[in-house]
Structure 1
Amino acid sequence: MANPTRWATETGPGHSQWYIDRFRKLAADGADLAGEARLVDATVPPGSRILDAGCGTGRVGAALAARGHRVVGVDADPALVEAARADHPGPRWLVGDLAELDLAAAGEPEPFDAAVVAGNVMAFVAPGTEQAVLSRIAAHLRPDGVVLVGFGTDRGYRIEDFDADAVAARLRPEHRFATWDLRPWRDDADFAVSVLRKPAR
């Protein structure tokens, strides 16, 4: 990994385990953890191949797999990937830097129909790698593939910079919402869910 992620540099010792424990408790309490997955599922055909980029503990990818999709998840934090493997067998969970993503080298050469980038991943990648992350994700999509990205707009990554990075990564913006359940976008919203598409040609 060329540059440490903000997840590694801006959180304290024990943060990863706290995050794992938090989502295990939410799941045990019956919390709805599949909102992002429902939106992704609505945008793709049944049985699609989906990249969970920045998969964390695997909750989004697991929900998509439960809906019949073929999921590969990637995260830079080995502790989160280990939790995903333990809690959600079925999808393939891999440790990797999204800015250097090369899934063919990991035995996953088939392109993806869609990618989901949830959980503020874009705000936690290494500073200055945001465009590279989007470019590497786009490189793993089939033509006309879709990317759904959600992050807090108050976390240091401006929505204007995201839009510029997406265009530089050759991803075409299609829709923007203020939440994963499709509340209307406003310029003063503190969260953005963007739907991007890789051109068919």
Structure 2
Amino acid sequence: AATGSAALESAARTHPDAVILDLGLPDLDGLDIIHGLRGWSAVPIIVLSGDGDPRRKIRALDAGADDYVVKPFSMDELLARLRAALRRPSTATATATAEEAPARAVIGDHVVDLAACTVRPLAGTPEGPAGARPVRLTPTEWAILGLLLRHPGRLVTGRRILHEVWGPDSEDKGNYLRVYFSTLRHKLERDPARPRHLVTEPGLGYRYQP
């Protein structure tokens, strides 16, 4: 795929066994592609980059990449890393199937497209007239929403969300979740005070109710 948008569309359509991603894309930042894929898929992602800055590498791995290869590299090394990524139990078919979410979901009066990272008004609703502007979510909001949508109807603990989105050192920062879920409900729910889809289970965690 020549662009990030084309890559996301192709991945949603064909469900590849693995993704080799160059971060230098003409239309989107490579990290946005990782967030877009991780919103609905557990496919292995290997990043190729000429940027060997450890901070850039950490951001890519935290976003959900499985490996990070710095240019220049040998083809033998790349193929070995690809074979290793495909062998990992976390990317086995059963796990990937269980973790994958539909490419699109409806929340309130909005259609959430996880592959394209877009939220648009649902046609035929009061908030969905022709020409209505899409809702914009931050990368962190996408990460939270994608995790919930991968488990429709199931409880996802607050500790798990904090661990997967902010890292293992953030599992005691429940205030993060209260702020972000409030923002997500105001952006997506018809009645944020009485959410229908992004539900809090007091003392336990959160649930996406289709």
Do the structures match in fold with TM over 0.5? no
Q: TM-score, normalised by structure 2?
A: 0.30
Higher helix share: 2
